[in-house]
């Protein structure tokens, strides 16, 4: 017990500043450089993970991440904290820009017929393309989830499917999707806790 709390304290003291979401939003609105620094230090890895998951290319993912941060910074007025979390907003931007990036890359390579492919088709393709890659990619946290939980987290978090899309794709009721998402995240929380205490 004593050791655990010592480590917790230690972890906390290593972290420099912690802003609440509201504080951070104020600072971003002011275009304060500290806000950018904090934003980057705390969210860039997670956003990069999501982007990389879609682009599957380090350099392209870095370019997208750069564009994502520029967009967040320059179009912050379009963020409405009444509508959702800051991280959720950034996540959406990251996913959309990553999807746009791979789409335009694919479109350059493939011929005009491919242009008819709509978002659903595109997403679908990426999903199947990437699913083999994931199992190599996340060894630690995601490996702690059951296979169906991995799948649902992948669709909900990394691919950005809606609940209805997941329900339709996996052929399960909406309520089941919600429950499964919740169970998967609960499991992730458990795993994260363990990891911190290790």
Partner 1 sequence: MNVEQIISSGLLEGYVLGMTTEEESALVRDLCVKHPELLEEIQQIESALIGLGSQQTPAPNDNLKDRIASQIQFSNAEPEARVVPLNRVEPVAGKSFGYRLAVAASVALLIASSVYIYTLHRQVSDLENRLADASASNTMLSVEMAAEKESMHKLAANFSIVSDPGMKAIPLNGMNSLATRSAMVHWNPETNDLYFNATALPPSPGDKQYQLWAIVDGKPVDAGVIALENGVVFQKMKPITGAKAFAVTIEAYGGSPSPSLDTMCLLGNV
Q: Return residues touching partner 1 (CB under 8 A).
A: 30-34, 36-37, 40, 42-50, 52-53, 58, 61-62, 65-66, 69-70, 73-74, 82-85, 87-89, 91-92, 137-138, 140-142, 153, 156-157, 160-163, 178-179, 181-182, 185, 188-189, 192, 195
CB of 71 to partner 1, least distance (A): 10
Closer Cβ to partner 1, 81 or 115, answer by number = 81
Distance CA 97, CA 48 (A): 12
Closer Cβ to partner 1, 74 or 78, answer by number = 74
CB of 185 to partner 1, least distance (A): 5
CB of 63 to partner 1, least distance (A): 10
Closer Cβ to partner 1, 8 or 110, answer by number = 8
Tokens 């392209």 appear where? Answer: 60
Distance CA 115, CA 49 (A): 27
Q: Which residue, among 165, 90, 155, has the nearest Cα to 128 in the 3D structure?
A: 155
Give me the sign of the Cα torsion angle 71, 102, 49, 84: positive
CB of 4 to partner 1, least distance (A): 18
71, burial (CB in 10 Å: exposed 0-12, middle 13-18, buried 19+): middle
CB of 37 to partner 1, least distance (A): 8
Closer Cβ to partner 1, 42 or 114, answer by number = 42
Distance CA 70, CA 54 (A): 19
């Amino acid at each position: 017990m004593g050791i655990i709390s010592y480590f917790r304290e230690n972890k906390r003291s290593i972290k420099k500043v912690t802003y609440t979401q509201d504080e951070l939003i104020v600072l971003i609105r002011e275009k304060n450089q500290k806000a950018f620094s904090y934003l980057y230090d705390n969210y860039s890895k997670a956003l990069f993970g999501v982007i990389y998951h879609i682009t599957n290319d380090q350099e392209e993912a870095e370019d997208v991440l750069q564009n994502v941060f520029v967009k967040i910074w320059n179009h912050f007025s379009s963020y409405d904290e009444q509508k959702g979390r800051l991280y959720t907003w950034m996540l959406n931007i990251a996913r959309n820009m990553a999807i746009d990036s791979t789409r335009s890359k694919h479109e350059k390579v493939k011929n005009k017929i491919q242009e008819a492919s709509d978002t659903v088709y595109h997403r679908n393709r990426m999903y199947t393309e990437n699913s083999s890659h994931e199992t190599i990619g996340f060894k630690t946290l995601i490996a702690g989830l059951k296979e169906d939980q991995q799948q649902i987290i992948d669709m909900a978090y990394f691919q950005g499917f809606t609940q209805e899309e997941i329900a339709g794709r996996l052929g399960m009721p909406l309520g089941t999707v919600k429950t499964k998402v919740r169970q998967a995240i609960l499991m992730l929380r458990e795993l994260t806790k363990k990891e911190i205490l290790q």
